[in-house]
Amino acid sequence: MTLTLSKTDTRVCEACWTEPVTASRPVADGQRDLLCGSCAHANAPRRVDLFPPLGVYKLTARRIEMGKHGSGSPQTPPDQGPPLPNPPPTPTPGRPPV
């Protein structure tokens, strides 16, 4: 049986990323894992999904709903440092205020 690869299929094993593709393994939804012979024989898992259903690596539906800050609105840091002087210091003429 001959393995047919399309123009967009990877040519490198999706499990070890070093050997050329010589075998395929069917997965859900009619897709397939493209593996080298030794990884296919060992039933090795794919290492990463480069283009999952949403099309971007590690982008999930939950992340889209939550936005950039998935844990809520930004919070102040726990240690904010010493308070600012009150009243603020007056600038010294001719020198920077630092």
Tens of pLDDT, residues 50-62:
655 555 555 555 5
E strand segments, the chain: 23-26, 32-35
Mean pLDDT, range 24-43, rounded to an integer: 88
Output DSSP code: residue 85: P
H-helix or E-strand containing 39? helix 37-41
Kind of pairing between the strands at 23-26 and 32-35: antiparallel
| Model-wide pTM > 0.85 | no
Q: What percent of the chain has pLDDT over 70?
A: 67
pLDDT for residue 35: 92
